[in-house]
């Protein structure tokens, strides 16, 4: 999985001082990878499950990084991340949209906290595989349509392994 993460992150324009967030961080693989690349920046690990954030604290210690801030939150709620408007450079949403009822709310929250020209990377299930969800998958075209309606500009579409797609958007509003 680490190879897939690094391959996906290569599409982001990264500087070591950027501020980023991983929505629905779970095991926080993207958070930890970003923490190493943005070593003078800050990464917010956001999840609705306290046990995921608790496990992340141990992973932070093992990885010897000090620029990760875990936040327990509901990203489908209004201002759910609790972060300030237009405060981040990057938001990564990996394998989250298929799990959410209100996909648009997640995208709106990402847009709210991203700076003008901020980068929004969405990675989700492309097709059924041995570990894919049985329901809730959202196609890249559906995500692109939602993003377009919200004023995001598509910068790149890419594959993330055999079973996932990646979309990179830039905020323009």
What would the two tokens of residue 74 be? Answer: 């509901």
Point out the least confidently predicted range of 4-13, 54-63, 66-75, 125-134.
125-134
Positive or negative, the Cα torsion across 142, 163, 77, 13?
negative
| Mean pLDDT for the stretch of residues 41-57 | 96
Domain that holds residue 153: 2-171
Specify the pLDDT at position 173.
62
Q: How far is CA 166 from CA 10, 19, 123, in A?
A: 12, 20, 4
Mean pLDDT, the chain, rounded, equals 94
129 — pLDDT class (breaks 50, 70, 90): confident
127 — pLDDT class (breaks 50, 70, 90): confident
The answer, yes or no, to whether residue 45 has pLDDT greater than 70, is yes
The answer, yes or no, to whether residue 1 has pLDDT greater than 80, is no
pTM, 2 dp:
0.95
CATH number for the domain spanning 88: value is 3.40.50.150
Q: How far is CA 18 from the centre of its chain?
A: 15
Contact 94, 22 (CB under 8 A): yes
**What is the number of structural domains in the chain?**
1
Of the candidates 78, 73, 23, 74, the one whose C-alpha atom is nearest the C-alpha of residue 45 is: 23
Specify the pLDDT at position 42.
98
| Mean pLDDT for the stretch of residues 133-142 | 89
The answer, yes or no, to whether residue 102 has pLDDT greater than 80, is yes
The answer, yes or no, to whether residue 155 has pLDDT greater than 80, is yes
Query: What letter would DSSP give residue 84?
Result: P
Specify the pLDDT at position 109.
98
Task: Express each pLDDT in 20-29 by its tens digit.
Answer: 999 999 999 9
């Amino acid at each position: 999985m680490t190879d897939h993460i690094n391959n996906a992150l290569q599409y982001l324009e990264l500087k070591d001082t950027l501020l980023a967030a991983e929505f629905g961080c779970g095991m926080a693989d993207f958070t930890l990878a970003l923490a190493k690349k943005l070593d003078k920046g800050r990464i917010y690990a956001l999840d609705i499950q306290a046990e995921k954030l608790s496990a992340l604290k141990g992973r932070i210690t093992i990885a010897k990084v000090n620029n990760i801030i875990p936040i327990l939150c509901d990203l489908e709620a209004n201002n759910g991340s609790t972060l300030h408007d237009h405060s981040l450079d990057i938001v990564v949403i990996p394998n989250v949209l298929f799990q959410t009822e209100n996909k648009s709310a997640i995208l709106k929250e990402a847009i709210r906290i991203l700076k003008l020209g901020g980068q929004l990377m969405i990675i989700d299930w492309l097709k059924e595989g041995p570990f894919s969800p049985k329901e809730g998958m959202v196609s890249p075209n559906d995500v692109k349509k939602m993003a377009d309606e919200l004023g995001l500009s598509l910068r790149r579409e890419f594959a993330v392994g055999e079973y996932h797609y990646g979309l990179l958007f830039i905020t323009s509003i």
